[in-house]
Amino acid sequence: MKRNRGHSGGRQANGVHGGGGGGQKGEAKKAITERQVAEFTQEWGALAQEEVSSADYYFNSYAHFGIHEEMLKDSVRTGTYQKAILQNAHLFRGKTVLDVGSGSGILSLFAAKAGAKKVYGIECSEIVEIARQIIAYNNYDDVVEFITGKAEEVTLPVDKVDIIVSEWMGYFLLYESMLDSVLFCRDKWLKEGGLIFPDKASLYLSGIEDADYREEKLGQWHNVYGFDFSPVKAIVMEDPLVDNVQAGVMNTTSCQILSLDLNTCKKDDADFASRFSIRALRRDFIHALVAWFDVTFSCRDVPHSHSVSFTTAPFSKWTHWKQTVFYLKDALVAHEGEEVSGLIAVRKNAKNPRDLDIKLKYVFDGAAAIAAVGGEGEREETENVVGGNEPNGAAGMDLEEEEGDQAGGEEAAAGKQKEKKNAAQRERGSGQGTGVNETLFFRLR
């Protein structure tokens, strides 16, 4: 995050740009300053080694504390792990625990506090050095031991563990996720009947109205300093948007497209294809599909255990995972009850398996399938469809209103006429009444 630098005002600090005064005294100061600068730029300490250790960009990105700070401040994420572990402390007491991708060490600390006999944390990035200090500061260094390296390459001091904990989820559940590593550790080290925290995950899809951002994302390319950059739109469309979506723009039912049980699933299950079907909840535009996931700590329904879960859905408290938005080629004009159906296929990218390739096919046969393309016109009509200018979405929805409502004056009367016209257009379809059958490709990177 970039922050504005404060202006020092008044006096300029001494340094390279500082005034040196006049005569020989000024020249001496200048010479000393230049020598100091030369010496200063020769020594970079630990930063000089960074390029040597950054061959794997993924792991190197987790060496910086900023990303861990964001995750620690995510109260849904970290608070749910805390609740799941400490409310099930009886399951951890006296047990051996493996923390896969231990990062800052917070999950290892939860496990140690719950009474684990030994906690082994596997971490490949350089954050492990800070984590060791944190563990020592909290007097758990006799319980928690970190092992540096990739989960698939390290050796544990024990043959089996009782519990695996891991925060393996990424954007869209699977992007940059450590699921493969968790499953590897499960198969190699988890004892028969052992527990995984969390062990269940589901991925969902729904439709949203998002005219403003769609126009911002795509409409701007029609005029770039007087030039038409429209060919760029195809490239921009390939990148899904990761952002927080307001619950109010969701306008269809949701559909589960993936369900994973980490106790039994295989590595290949993360490459999947699924049918989906969603229905419009109101008359509105559908500009995009939005995806989110749920996670559950089921404890395998062990007696006296407490199942805990959280969701990253738009209608819940926001998390650092946000939601993932896939913009459609054209906005769909949907009436209440009309169905959008299709297929979605997800696979790891061949060159970079932490990226995801996503193929989306959708079919829609609504009364007015595609919104008229026209930038401003579409945004204007969207406001009318969802009632952007009156409370409770009332604008433009009542064809029986009397034209001559004098209470609002001439402006109100003109507005009502405009709303009536738009409503009548929607009754006739307000779009192209042909079916939609599109296939789009995305890459989450």
Say if residue 57's pLDDT is above 90. no
Say if residue 144's pLDDT is above 70. yes
Say if residue 408's pLDDT is above 50. no
The answer to whether the CB of 408 falls within 8 A of the CB of 241 is: no
- The reported pLDDT for the residue numbered 30 is 57
Residue 44 pLDDT grade (very low, low, confident, very high; cuts 50, 70, 90) = confident
Residue 380 pLDDT grade (very low, low, confident, very high; cuts 50, 70, 90) = very low
User: Domains in the chain, ordered, with CATH?
Assistant: 57-167 (3.40.50.150), 201-444 (2.70.160.11)
Identify which has the larger pLDDT, 41 or 415.
Answer: 41
Q: What are phi and psi of 157, to 5 degrees?
A: -75, -5
- The reported pLDDT for the residue numbered 199 is 99
Say if residue 400's pLDDT is above 70. no
Q: Which two tokens stand for residue 74?
A: 């995510």
Identify which has the larger pLDDT, 178 or 59.
Answer: 178
- The reported pLDDT for the residue numbered 38 is 77
- The reported pLDDT for the residue numbered 368 is 77
Q: Pick left, alpha or beta for residue 208 (phi over 0 → left; psi -120 to 50 → alpha; otherwise beta).
A: beta
Identify which has the larger pLDDT, 336 or 403.
Answer: 336
Residue 170 pLDDT grade (very low, low, confident, very high; cuts 50, 70, 90) = very high
- The reported pLDDT for the residue numbered 330 is 92
- The reported pLDDT for the residue numbered 41 is 76
The mean predicted confidence, pLDDT, of the chain is 83
Percent of the chain with pLDDT over 70: 74
Residue 27 pLDDT grade (very low, low, confident, very high; cuts 50, 70, 90) = low
- 96 vs 162: CA distance, rounded Å: 5
Across the range 150-165, mean pLDDT stands at 98
- The reported pLDDT for the residue numbered 217 is 85
The answer to whether the CB of 180 falls within 8 A of the CB of 270 is: yes
Across the range 154-158, mean pLDDT stands at 98
pLDDT, tens digit, for every residue of 96-116? 999 999 999 999 999 999 999
- The reported pLDDT for the residue numbered 19 is 43
- 354 vs 347: CA distance, rounded Å: 10
Residue 295 pLDDT grade (very low, low, confident, very high; cuts 50, 70, 90) = very high
- The reported pLDDT for the residue numbered 25 is 52
Specify which residues 337 forms β-bridges with: none
Q: For the sheet containing 144-148, what is the strand order?
A: 144-148, 118-123, 96-100, 161-166, 190-197
pLDDT, tens digit, for every residue of 308-348? 999 999 999 999 999 999 999 999 999 999 999 999 999 99
The answer to whether the CB of 277 falls within 8 A of the CB of 255 is: yes
Residue 300 pLDDT grade (very low, low, confident, very high; cuts 50, 70, 90) = very high
- The reported pLDDT for the residue numbered 371 is 73
Across the range 126-146, mean pLDDT stands at 97
Q: Pick left, alpha or beta for residue 149 (phi over 0 → left; psi -120 to 50 → alpha; otherwise beta).
A: left
SS (H, E, C) the chain: CCCCCCCCCCCCCCCCCCCCCCHHHHHHHHHHHHHHHHHHCCCCHHHHHCCCCCCCHHHHHCCCHHHHHHHHHCHHHHHHHHHHHHCCHHHHCCCEEEEECCCCCHHHHHHHHCCCCEEEEEECCCHHHHHHHHHHHCCCCCCEEEEECCCCCCCCCCCCEEEEEECCCECCECCCCCHHHHHHHHHHHEEEEEEEECCEEEEEEEEECCHHHHHHHHHHHHCECCECCCCHHHHHHHCCEEECCCHHHEEEEEEEEEEEECCCCCHHHHCEEEEEEEEECCCEEEEEEEEEEEEEECHHHCCCCCCEEEECCCCCCCCCCCEEEEEEEEEEEECCCCEEEEEEEEEECCCCCCCEEEEEEEEECCCEEEECCCCHHHHHHHHHHHCCCCHHHCCCCCCCCCCCCHHHHHHHHHHHHHHHHHHHHHHHCCEECCCEEEEEEEEEC
Q: What are phi and psi of 6, to 5 degrees?
A: -70, 145
Residue 94 pLDDT grade (very low, low, confident, very high; cuts 50, 70, 90) = very high
Amino acid at 242: V
- The reported pLDDT for the residue numbered 63 is 63
List active site positions. Answer: 167, 176
- The reported pLDDT for the residue numbered 273 is 97
Across the range 41-69, mean pLDDT stands at 62
